[in-house]
Structure 1
Amino acid sequence: MSDDIRQQQFSLEAEQVVLGCLMQSQRPFADVEPLLGKGDVFYRQQHATIYRALLELRDRQEPTDPITLAAHLLGTGDLNKVGGATYLHECMALAPIDAQAGHFARKVAQFAALRFLEREGLRIARVAQTAHHEEADAILDQARSWLAELTVSTVNRTDALWQDAAARTLTDMGEIADAPDEPVGIPTGLHDVDEVLEGLRPGQLTLVAARPRVGKSVLLLNVAQHASFKLGKRVVFFSLEMSEPEVVTRMFSAGTSVPLTRIRLAKQLTDEDWTKLGRYVGDTDAAPLHIDPSPKAGLAHIRATTKRIAEEHGGVDLVLVDYLQLMPPANPRQSREQQVSELSRGLKLFAKEIGAPVIAACQLNRGPEQRADKKPQLGDLRESGSLEQDGDQVILLHREDADNPDSPKAGECDLIIAKNRHGRQDTITVAAQLHLSRFVSTAIV
């Protein structure tokens, strides 16, 4: 871009005024620190050095006037680097007595965001120019991850005074007390599970873990169907393992009681089956369920897709990911344990960010196979102990007939609630009607 078109993405005056305001009084720190952070947003390095020195003086409860500041910078060997004591006085002189430090700090942060965007844009362009066409999906996901780091520090402050936090909490408690006698969060559709978990709560991460072919995907699909089709909640289902037709046919079977094998082999469907399917599609036609079958849905993709849906429809109520270990890592060079740790932590932070419950299926290691009873434990969470740490609830699935078809508990599945941050642990037995792609509470079978 030519110099006559390209605008300067910085304001030296705004940077100087902010520093001058902080030298006049310590009061503006409360307004500018959430915007300026540790000073990386300053265009001139000398301004970042001055700002950090001011923070050090403030933290030590010392004055921040130019004389004290100059003495501090002299002691650290930085005084000449920032322009000497004369430059400090110049910055202070530029700041009017009634200057709004927060206004100028916001300007500094906005310019920094534009520079970041320009830098990352060039970075993405360089990668794209040398990439093979088969790498396009991976590069798109990486680009989303880089841009997700862009945070213009113009957001509302995140802290809350006790008085305000207590008042809001009491209001929320009053609404819950006056509401019908239902779970606090979104019900899963399994009555006994909802009694223990009190529903799926906003901002929480629930992990559903099991060995292969036990029913992780089935449980997530059932929860998605119940929340969207019966409760009208806006649900986003990310399926990294199954294609769109596989997801839909399983939901068909669970919703119509037509065996999945007949649905897969459509020629075996009877006229009655077709009628059931047609009626079911008609009844659920307006359901706010979004299915994303991308096999390479990384954290950045999940975040971007969910936010887009939320913006288009005024929010998202529930997000499901099937399953975590299939998500591509942001940094392929890390160890697998580090990758899984970052993914689980990312999903937890994402749940808080969007204010909705997130459920992620997880693979267990071979630990259960080495025990006589084959029952899974929290320690079996595959590849990373951070899964146990990040999950607000952890539900382990165990079917005896998965290993022993002649088991007296054939047709049943134990949902072991091994971690429940806000309630008790328990084991709930449900009917495993896997030929219909569903679990059903034994009380209503």
Structure 2
Amino acid sequence: MADGNTDTLDGAANVLPSNIEAEQALLGALLVNNDAFDRIASIIKPEHFFDPLHTRIFEVASDRIRKNTLATPVTLKAFFEGDEGLQAVGGTSYLVRLAGAAISLFAVKDYAQLIYDLAIRRNLILIGQDISERASRIEVESDAADLIVKAEQELYQLGEKGKTDQGFQSFQKAVFDAVNVTNAAYQRDGGLSGLPTGLDDLDEKLGGFHPSDLLILAARPSMGKTSLATNVAFNVARNYKRGIRPDGTEGAVEGGVVGFFSLEMSAEQLAARVLSEAARIPSQNIREGNLTQDEMRRFLEAAKELEKAPLYIDDTPALPISTVAARARRLKRQHGLDLMIIDYLQLARGTNSKSDNRVQEVSEITQGLKAIAKELHIPVIALSQLSRQVESREDKRPQLSDLRESGSIEQDADVVMFIFREEYYKEREKPGDHDIAAMAVWQEEMEKLHGRAEVIIGKQRHGPIGTVDLAFEGQFTRFSNLIKNYQNSGSGDFG
């Protein structure tokens, strides 16, 4: 055990900062008055102690206090019989000496903050040394850009968690987190445990979008993938409210901050599409400036509402998945991030963009997106194209095997959704004007299908599969709740 305030690495001049006396004083206060634990539990964890013996003492004391049992030098003595680290400093009498060095209850928070700060500094030094070592080692398979991404990831994890490697966590903590999720749903009267999309029937089927989930939204061209994604993005962003969440942390209590990676459309085109949907004005009229006075008023109102919404767009084309991860981390650090959308998956690139194996590259991308969802604890929605084999079937409803490079996408995704609009295909079956009987049948079928869309949930790891019916307004490329849309036709309600 170190008995000073510093220690060295491999005899080098690099010094790891620590304060053994502060650790002793804090542990002593905890053993004298267990109420101190409530004041420091949110600040300090066992791994923040520099001395390994102090780490073990804090772990045992914390476990006993959480179980509402006493943690004193006497009660801890049995847990350290034969502990080599404790024997080296005088045996169990060291626990009594710690209690004798106890500080006042009012000072424990400051001491905990000091120990935490020193732990972060030690980790920063180690990360810096690791970065330096990797940068000086020139290898064919890694370039400088990869090193930057790796360094940013490590620094992000340190900033978010106060540690670079979470490692194993106890089942007790996992149960505690699960109870918090269920409690959040219970507080909504048995409603959603995830992030609401603003589309009621879809929310009911999915329970909202859940943190750490990768959701695939797939369809053939012209089905409305981007439109549904922008609908959801705007709904989530416009409902954003910040406050204290049930777990005691500060963040989004309603809605959320949305990061939208638009690899196909420019930010301006995407904004115009969102404005068209929100203001209920055909996008063609917006592009041409062909607006009535009332439409111009609605357009400006929608633009004003969009200005305040925390919706961030990155329209850099052909981004490598490692860069997507780095930019998502940066956005979360600077502004927060509660939902990430990437449009679309096949336009992203793997780390080795020169690889001829497209299936392997898509697998790397989907695994990377799932890793982002878990690391940032957010839902990630990735749009995906479907193969042309859909068009060759009589029933053109998509299924899992229609996903391009379907193996990795289906395996890595927690939820797979397909958009299907039968009206799109029926419209192309229009008979000739001379066939009056066939035309009458076709018109009747078109009336039934008009303005309707299906979201087919082909896979859901934590819930049922099935179909959700939505309303679709083609002129605005806008999805909304089916019943609400027809009850309030032309009302301007975003649904």
Does TM, normalized by the shorter one, top 0.5? yes
Tell me the distance in 1 between the aligned counterparts of 2:480 and 2:207.
18
Of the candidates 191, 204, 227, which is equivalent to residue 200 of structure 2?
Answer: 191
Tell me the distance in 1 between the aligned counterparts of 2:126 and 2:405.
38
Tell me the distance in 1 between the aligned counterparts of 2:330 and 2:303.
26
Of the candidates 150, 158, 161, which is equivalent to residue 170 of structure 2?
Answer: 161
Tell me the distance in 1 between the aligned counterparts of 2:268 and 2:339.
21
Greater CA deviation, 290-299 or 323-332?
290-299
Of the candidates 306, 320, 330, which is equivalent to residue 284 of structure 1?
Answer: 306
Instruction: Determine if the alignment matches structure 1 residue 269 to structure 2 residue 304.
Output: no
Confirm or deny: 8 A CA contact 2:149 2:326 kept in the other structure.
no
Matches within 5 A, 1:64-213: 97=88, 113-121=127-135, 142=146, 144-147=148-151, 154-155=163-164, 157-213=166-222
Deviation at 1:228, TM superposition (A): 0.5
Deviation at 1:108, TM superposition (A): 10
Alignment correspondent of 2:282 = 259
Confirm or deny: 8 A CA contact 1:432 1:438 kept in the other structure.
yes
CA RMSD for the aligned pairs? 3.6
Alignment correspondent of 2:464 = 424
Greater CA deviation, 400-409 or 358-367?
400-409
Confirm or deny: 8 A CA contact 1:120 1:147 kept in the other structure.
no
Alignment correspondent of 1:216 = 225
Deviation at 1:127, TM superposition (A): 12
1:191 is aligned with what amino acid?
A: D
Tell me the distance in 2 between the aligned counterparts of 1:225 and 1:31.
41
Tell me the distance in 2 between the aligned counterparts of 1:331 and 1:127.
9
Alignment correspondent of 1:362 = 384
Instruction: Determine if the alignment matches structure 1 residue 321 to structure 2 residue 319.
Output: no
Deviations 1:231-280 (A, max 9, x none): 441111110000011101101110011111101111x1222221111112
Equivalent residue pairs, number: 346
Give unpaired runs (5+ residues) of structure 2.
1-7, 13-45, 49-86, 91-118, 241-254, 431-444, 486-495
Deviation at 1:389, TM superposition (A): 0.9
TM-score w.r.t. the length of structure 1 is 0.69
Deviation at 1:222, TM superposition (A): 0.5
TM-score w.r.t. the length of structure 2 is 0.62
Tell me the distance in 2 between the aligned counterparts of 1:178 and 1:154.
32
- The structure showing larger relative contact order (alpha-carbon pairs under 8 Å, at least 6 residues apart) is 1
Tell me the distance in 2 between the aligned counterparts of 1:211 and 1:337.
19
Confirm or deny: 8 A CA contact 2:154 2:164 kept in the other structure.
no
Matches within 5 A, 1:38-57: none
Instruction: Determine if the alignment matches structure 1 residue 348 to structure 2 residue 376.
Output: no
Deviation at 1:97, TM superposition (A): 4.1
Confirm or deny: 8 A CA contact 1:227 1:235 kept in the other structure.
yes
Confirm or deny: 8 A CA contact 2:123 2:164 kept in the other structure.
no
Deviation at 1:122, TM superposition (A): 5.4
Confirm or deny: 8 A CA contact 1:144 1:304 kept in the other structure.
no
Tell me the distance in 1 between the aligned counterparts of 2:215 and 2:298.
33
> Secondary structure of the equivalent of 1:237?
strand
Deviations 1:43-64 (A, max 9, x none): xxxxxxxxxxxxxxxxxxxxxx
The percent of aligned pairs where both chains have the same amino acid is 33
Deviations 1:167-192 (A, max 9, x none): 44334433432334431111122111
Confirm or deny: 8 A CA contact 1:367 1:376 kept in the other structure.
no
Deviation at 1:211, TM superposition (A): 1.3
Tell me the distance in 2 between the aligned counterparts of 1:386 and 1:125.
29
Distance 1:109 1:249, change over 3 A: closer
